A = this chain, B = another copy of it.
Amino acid sequence: MLAEIITIGDELLIGQVIDTNSAFIAKQLNKIGVSVYQITSVQDDREHILKALKDAETHVDVVILTGGLGPTKDDITKKTLAEYFNDNLVRNEGVLKNIETIWATHVRGNLLQVNKDQALVPSKSKVLMNVLGTAPGMWMEKGDKVFISLPGVPHEMQALVEEEVIPKIKGKYNCPFILHKTLLVYGLGESALAERIEAWEDALPSFIRLAYLPSLGKMRLRLSAKGFDEINLRALVDAEIAKVIPLIKDEFFGLEDEEGSVEVVIAKKLAKLGKTLAIAESCTGGKIAEQFTSHPGASIYFKGGVVTYSTQSKINILGIAKDLVEQHSVVSKEVVEAMAKNALGLFQSDFAVATTGNAGPSKGDSDAEIGTVYIAIATETEVYSQKFILGNQRVKVIDKAVNKALEMLLKEIFKN
């Protein structure tokens, strides 16, 4: 079972919007054993859409289109779909009613003709009702192939995928099971890791694929397997994982959650230990806190954080001594350790992590070189820190500092 995702919209092709829809759809399809053969982003252009449809039809079973269904003039997906299927657009009364309901509930002003026209769908399509918006999803079949058109607005698309598309695909096809397991590894480069596990990798059964996923100082190792016998597949993959863990034991920090990442591994461990966390951020500007709070259940272990961006706020809110700042500079081992220690006290947490640094492009309150970041960990019994030099590009300095902070925290918490 293969699928192609076609995203329609010039905003992706000029780089104004990052395509998060495709990753969402791919993840959902994978869970029911449908492999994504290709993701294709095309222009809002009749000929280009027709070409993409034709190309997809020759390679895959399921084609999912997103975007280009808005009421305005730049959206031509629906007309083009009707043309591709040699079909015409007809008004769907259910969709019109949905549009009228949304209008009455959420929108000020009159229902316009362009909105009423959103109730036009190809006559051969089944409507996937979009209760969150005015653009309907559409399901079309051609032989044993399925074409699904969805709105590009992420939350509308997501609801339709979860509630309509996935159940319908499962109903229509006998889907295999696809399993991914990801091992979180720190401290080993891609090639050093590959050398360590070479013999194991060479002996992997052919239905298990291995991938190395390096990312700014962390490394993930992903095993993917596919088959019709879920229980057997899980057992075989787990057996391979049990073999590889001893080979990377010193650098292995757990399996990533199917939906999760480093912070989820940390969160689960904290919850298990019944311990709590506080965060004091300067150069990372709230991003560490945001990583944790974006996942459910954060209130169990996350006491809170401060973003003490200005030196004055480090003094006033975290109670850093003014002398300490003057003596050592605001970007220093002494200040970051005081930040972590005081955050621990302020929030009455068991662990605290703190960052201070200069992400650039200008030097701000400190004379530290751009890219210099200090990160500290405080626990009930100790405080320690590390200095990092993380380049000179602001967003990367911040992202690397977040990753380094998560790594230090992970190592500290896994001592327990």
| A→B interface (CB under 8 Å) | 9-20, 22-28, 30, 35-44, 48, 55, 70-74, 107-109, 112, 114-115, 153-155, 158, 178, 180, 182, 189-192, 194-195, 201, 209-216, 222, 224, 279, 281, 283-290, 292-299, 302-310, 312-313, 316-317, 346-348, 360-362, 364-365, 391, 393-396, 398
Is A190's CB under 8 angstroms from B70's CB?
Answer: yes
The secondary-structure label for the interface of chain A is mixed
Is A312's CB under 8 angstroms from B114's CB?
Answer: no
Is A306's CB under 8 angstroms from B307's CB?
Answer: yes
Is A15's CB under 8 angstroms from B25's CB?
Answer: yes
Is A182's CB under 8 angstroms from B14's CB?
Answer: no
A10 proximity list for chain B (CB < 8 A): 209, 211, 224
One of B15, B30, B292 near A285 (C-beta < 8 A) = B292
A312 proximity list for chain B (CB < 8 A): 303, 348
Is A309's CB under 8 angstroms from B305's CB?
Answer: yes
Is A289's CB under 8 angstroms from B304's CB?
Answer: no
A190 proximity list for chain B (CB < 8 A): 70-72
What are 25 inter-chain pairs, A to B, with CB distance below 8 A? A11-B222, A13-B36, A13-B37, A13-B39, A14-B30, A15-B30, A16-B182, A16-B222, A18-B20, A19-B22, A19-B39, A38-B42, A71-B190, A73-B201, A74-B212, A107-B189, A115-B191, A153-B214, A153-B215, A155-B393, A155-B396, A286-B287, A286-B305, A313-B346, A317-B347
One of B23, B192, B224 near A19 (C-beta < 8 A) = B23
Is A285's CB under 8 angstroms from B296's CB?
Answer: no
Is B214's CB under 8 angstroms from A70's CB?
Answer: yes
